[in-house]
Every structure is written in C-alpha cells, then in structure tokens.
Amino acid sequence: MNKYELALIVSAKIEDEARAAVVEKAKGYIERFGGVVTEVEEWGKKKLAYEIQKMSEGFYYFIQFDANPEVPAELEQNVRIMDHVLRFLVVRKDEA
C-alpha cells in the first residue's frame, strides 16, 4: 500500500453539517475502494487565490490515507462529480 493525500476545497456557502457530510462522503469513497484513512486535517476557511464559481473563500481539508495504486483514479472519478467540492487533488506522499 502507498501513502496518499487528498486535498479538498469545499464551498464556504454551505452549512457546517453539509460540509462535514461532504468530507465524510469523500472518506467513504476511500474506504469503499479499499483504502484506510489515517488522518484528516481541517485548515478552516481560507481566501482562494482566484474566484472559483464566483466564490472567493473555501474550507480546506487534507485527508491522508493508505491505499493500493488504483484507488486514487477511482477516488478522483467520484470526487469530481460531488456537490460543493470546488477543487481537489490526490497526491502520493513519498516515504521520507
């Protein structure tokens, strides 16, 4: 298994419960495809470098997980169509 990190920027215009549901749904996708979530970092509301969908702020989340090499592609397909996710990125973390 490799170590990965999913960076999510979630809309700041939704309620706290809905935002938590978006993060839980992303974690659920990771686990459904055989990954193991190891840590979730919430950075809170930050100003975006440029407007996305007419929004200038978003909530940043970083989800670390262990998974097989095919899981990030499957995860990206599902996160891409999620509501309230402004941007996302899955990167492999090197063993340092």
Reported confidence tier of residue 96, pLDDT bands at 50, 70, 90: low
Q: Where are the domains of the chain?
A: 2-55+67-84
Return all residues near 86 (Cβ < 8 A) that are at least 6 apart: 9, 10, 11, 48, 52, 53, 55, 58
User: Global pTM?
Assistant: 0.90
- Please state, in angstroms and rounded to a whole number, the distance separating the CA atoms of residues 18 and 40: 17
pLDDT 10s digits, 41-77: 999 999 999 999 999 999 999 999 999 999 999 999 9
pLDDT value of position 94:
81
pLDDT value of position 46:
95
Measure CA of the first residue to CA of the last residue in the chain; give whole Å: 15
Average pLDDT, the chain: 93
Residue 85 has pLDDT above 90, yes or no: yes
